[in-house]
């Protein structure tokens, strides 16, 4: 709302004298999150369970685009920012919708932030945050190793469309990060907690310290490591998700989220200046409901993705393959990840295998899909089936050869999002089988 008063973390009306307050909502307020829950699954389980309108164990879907009021003056008061979703007053679903806000509460609990707002895609979450935090002439310091779409947004779109420019850095080189920050002009330090596709792990606490010392906000894309890493608990100001990946888990939904301070989320909904309000990347409430049913088992899924990824990466290395996996001791960021990871979730569910040339990468993927059924050639990640893609010619194809080389993306790099279907040994057998076929035929 215009005055930025809305507390997104508590979305139901509280005043008992409020003639509009829903009694069902009051009856079902249980377990408000204690402030210092560190484990993301515990934080999720601790927030108020939202029941359905008739006492259903699942929340109801509020499918309406618009909301009615009992008195004409209420509309004016809502537009003036006097009444808002914190007291169960809704105007229009591009602004706030109760079902989407409920998913936002889950996302905020997952990431340990005050508030969260769910969007129609990961890219719309990223672009909205950058457009909110930066104005024309401002500057972003960003990691070299980023999802290709984000890299293109920062390299091409934002400089052309609004003169927001970026410098790209090696996020492991903290002196370089410091050097590239232009005090007064740099507004955001942007990186991925675990980068796509190189699996570089960012030292989140140290990078936050550097940025905050210079008055720069830290925005972290945590798409590759939900549950595994909690950037906001380590000092980041804003956490972004492409929910389309692990959080959805079904490879059937495109969605995103911005998790951060309530003041930022409120400013993003401002009627005159809010990037979310005015660009309008709204999530459909039916999608929000679907996703809210999947968050409770995200922790279980992540543990199995991570367990299988570690087992396969270890065995692939024993077979002499060039494997990149932060769970392996020889990964340059293994110790950093150990120091920042949440306990018992593992080291991420993605493995990269460097086959050196695109031809060899393609032969391996072809055998793995079409001969042994180990996985599917497809972009994206976080699905129950293993998904494989050659990053240089797919999800990082927006980068030119020099940018790919600087980011460490070799032409034969195969990114594998390890699934959890079938048994672990069955799947490993399929991998070994494909590899021996390659060796047999000297491919």
**Would you tell me which residues interact with ligand PLP (CB under 6 A)?**
121-123, 147, 149-150, 192, 196, 221, 223-224, 242, 244, 254, 256, 395
Radius of gyration of the chain (CA): 23
Q: What angle do CA 412, 413, 415 make, to 5 degrees?
A: 140
Give whichever of 47 and 239 is closer to ligand PLP, judged by the CB atom: 239
Give the nearest distance from C-beta 251 to ligand PLP in angstroms.
Answer: 11
Q: What angle do CA 32, 35, 38 make, to 5 degrees?
A: 110
Give whichever of 85 and 419 is closer to ligand PLP, judged by the CB atom: 419
Which residues, other chains included, contact 80 with Cβ-Cβ below 8 Å and sequence gap of 6+?
A: 1, 2, 3
Give whichever of 113 and 150 is closer to ligand PLP, judged by the CB atom: 150
Give the nearest distance from C-beta 64 to ligand PLP in angstroms.
Answer: 25
Token pair recorded at residue 44:
């999720």
Which residues, other chains included, contact 404 with Cβ-Cβ below 8 Å and sequence gap of 6+?
A: 392, 396
Give whichever of 254 and 279 is closer to ligand PLP, judged by the CB atom: 254
Which strand (E) or helix (H) includes residue 44? helix 40-46
Give the nearest distance from C-beta 379 to ligand PLP in angstroms.
Answer: 7
Give whichever of 221 and 403 is closer to ligand PLP, judged by the CB atom: 221
Give whichever of 244 and 342 is closer to ligand PLP, judged by the CB atom: 244
**Phi and psi of 139, rounded to 5°?**
-135, 145
- Using CA atoms, how far apart are residues 275 and 255, in angstroms rounded to an integer? 17
Give whichever of 244 and 410 is closer to ligand PLP, judged by the CB atom: 244
Give whichever of 127 and 186 is closer to ligand PLP, judged by the CB atom: 127
Q: What angle do CA 126, 212, 114 make, to 5 degrees?
A: 55
Question: CA 195: distance to chain centroid?
Answer: 12
Q: Which residue has the tokens 């979310």?
A: 276
Give the nearest distance from C-beta 187 to ligand PLP in angstroms.
Answer: 20
- Using CA atoms, how far apart are residues 323 and 311, in angstroms rounded to an integer? 12
- Of 185, 193, 179, 145, give the one whose Cα is nearest residue 165: 185
- Using CA atoms, how far apart are residues 106 and 441, in angstroms rounded to an integer? 51
Give whichever of 223 and 266 is closer to ligand PLP, judged by the CB atom: 223
Give the nearest distance from C-beta 372 to ligand PLP in angstroms.
Answer: 26
Give the nearest distance from C-beta 32 to ligand PLP in angstroms.
Answer: 30
Give the nearest distance from C-beta 192 to ligand PLP in angstroms.
Answer: 5
- Of 343, 245, 291, 301, give the one whose Cα is nearest residue 105: 291
Give whichever of 149 and 260 is closer to ligand PLP, judged by the CB atom: 149
Give the nearest distance from C-beta 248 to ligand PLP in angstroms.
Answer: 9
Give whichever of 251 and 254 is closer to ligand PLP, judged by the CB atom: 254
Give the nearest distance from C-beta 196 to ligand PLP in angstroms.
Answer: 4
CA distances from 54 to 62, 89, 178 (A): 13, 20, 55
Give the nearest distance from C-beta 120 to ligand PLP in angstroms.
Answer: 8
Judge if the upstream peptide bond of residue 197 is cis by omega within 30 degrees of 0: yes
Which residues, other chains included, contact 148 with Cβ-Cβ below 8 Å and sequence gap of 6+?
A: 196, 395, 396, 397, 398, 399
Give the CB-nearest residue to ligand PLP. 122
- Does residue 176 sit in helix, strand or coil? helix
- Of 37, 12, 40, 17, give the one whose Cα is nearest residue 296: 40
- Using CA atoms, how far apart are residues 306 and 84, in angstroms rounded to an integer? 41
Give the nearest distance from C-beta 130 to ligand PLP in angstroms.
Answer: 12
């Amino acid at each position: 709302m215009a005055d930025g008063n809305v507390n997104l973390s508590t979305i139901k009306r509280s005043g008992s004298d409020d003639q509009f307050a829903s009694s069902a909502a009051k009856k079902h307020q249980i377990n408000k999150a204690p402030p210092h829950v560190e484990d993301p699954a515990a934080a999720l389980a601790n927030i108020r369970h939202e029941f359905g309108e008739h006492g259903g164990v699942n929340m109801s879907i509020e499918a309406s685009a618009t909301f009615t009021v009992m008195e004409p003056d209420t509309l004016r008061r809502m537009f003036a920012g006097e009444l808002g979703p914190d007291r169960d007053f809704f105007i229009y679903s591009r602004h706030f919708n109760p079902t989407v806000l409920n998913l936002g509460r889950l996302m905020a609990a997952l990431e340990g932030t005050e508030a969260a707002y769910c969007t129609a895609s990961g890219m719309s979450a990223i672009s909205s945050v950058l457009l909110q935090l930066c104005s024309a002439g401002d500057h972003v310091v960003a990691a070299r190793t980023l999802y290709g779409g984000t890299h293109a947004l920062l390299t091409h779109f934002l400089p052309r469309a609004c003169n927001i420019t970026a410098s790209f850095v090696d996020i492991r080189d903290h002196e370089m990060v410091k050097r590239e920050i232009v005090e007064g002009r740099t507004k955001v330090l942007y990186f991925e907690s675990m980068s796509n596709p190189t699996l570089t792990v960012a030292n989140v606490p140290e990078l936050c310290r550097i940025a905050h010392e210079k008055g720069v906000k830290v925005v972290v894309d945590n798409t590759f490591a939900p549950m595994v890493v909690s950037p906001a608990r380590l000092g980041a100001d804003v956490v972004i998700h492409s929910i389309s990946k692990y959080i959805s888990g079904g490879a059937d939904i495109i969605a995103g989220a911005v998790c951060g301070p309530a003041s930022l989320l409120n400013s993003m909904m401002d009627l005159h200046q809010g990037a979310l309000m005015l660009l309008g990347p709204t999530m459909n409430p039916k999608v929000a409901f679907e996703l809210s049913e999947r968050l409770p088992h995200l922790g279980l899924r992540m543990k199995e993705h991570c367990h299988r990824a570690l087992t396969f990466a270890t065995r692939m290395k024993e077979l002499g393959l060039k494997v990149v996996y932060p769970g392996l001791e020889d990964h340059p960021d293994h110790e950093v990840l150990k120091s920042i990871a949440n306990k018992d979730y593992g080291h991420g569910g993605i493995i990269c295998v460097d086959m050196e040339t695109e031809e060899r990468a393609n032969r391996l993927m072809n055998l793995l899909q079409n001969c042994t059924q180990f996985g599917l050639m497809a972009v994206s990640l976080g699905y129950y089936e293993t998904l494989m893609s050659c990053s240089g010619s797919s999800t990082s194809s927006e980068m030119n050869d020099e940018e790919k080389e600087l980011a460490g993306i070799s032409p034969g790099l195969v990114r594998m999002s390890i699934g959890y279907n079938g048994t672990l040994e069955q799947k490993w057998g399929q991998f070994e089988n494909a590899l021996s076929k390659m060796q047999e035929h000297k491919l």
